[in-house]
């Protein structure tokens, strides 16, 4: 069943919930940026700040499909779960090259809307 646009909360509500979840589960995390989008794609994450070694994400997406994220690097880094507007999963990954741009490859259906917070740990 498709989610109607009128029933989807505003992006600010998702980002606020993600910020609270991040504060509770990763209190030492530093939020990098938020992004709202639709469908699969690659998200460029800037170099990690000095002292940080991991990149993480908090994600919500319209229900009915699964999301997956992978980081193409030597050390395996991937995660996934069913999309949810009410449950806010958190995942983070060790980064092989923290001084360069890291690419997050987000996989979900082309009609799925997502709200994502990327953070450093």
Give 71-91 pLDDT, tens digit per residue.
Answer: 999 998 999 999 999 999 999
pLDDT at 50 over 70: yes
Characterize the bridge pairing of strands 78-82 and 41-45.
Answer: unpaired
21 three-class SS? helix
Contact 69, 91 (CB under 8 A): yes
pLDDT of residue 2: 42
Please state the domain extents for the chain.
11-120
Where are the alpha helices (H) located in the chain, listed in sequence order? Answer: 11-25
- Across 24-51, average pLDDT: 95
Could you tell me which CATH class the domain 11-120 is placed in?
mainly beta
pTM of the predicted protein model: 0.89
> What tens digit of pLDDT does each residue of 58-67 get?
999 998 899 9
Average pLDDT over residues 10-23: 94
Contact (Cβ atoms closer than 8 angstroms) between residue 26 and residue 120: no
């Amino acid at each position: 069943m498709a989610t109607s646009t009128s029933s989807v909360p505003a992006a600010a509500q998702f980002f606020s919930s993600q910020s609270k979840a991040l504060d509770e589960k990763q209190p030492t995390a530093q939020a990098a940026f938020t992004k709202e989008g639709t469908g699969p794609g690659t998200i460029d994450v800037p170099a990690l700040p000095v002292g940080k070694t991991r990149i993480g994400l908090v994600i919500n997406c319209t229900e009915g499909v699964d999301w997956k994220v992978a980081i193409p690097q030597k050390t395996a880094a991937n995660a996934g779960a069913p999309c949810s507007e009410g449950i806010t999963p958190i995942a983070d990954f060790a980064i092989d090259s923290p001084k360069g741009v890291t690419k997050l490859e987000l996989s979900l259906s082309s009609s799925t809307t997502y709200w994502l917070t990327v953070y450093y740990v």
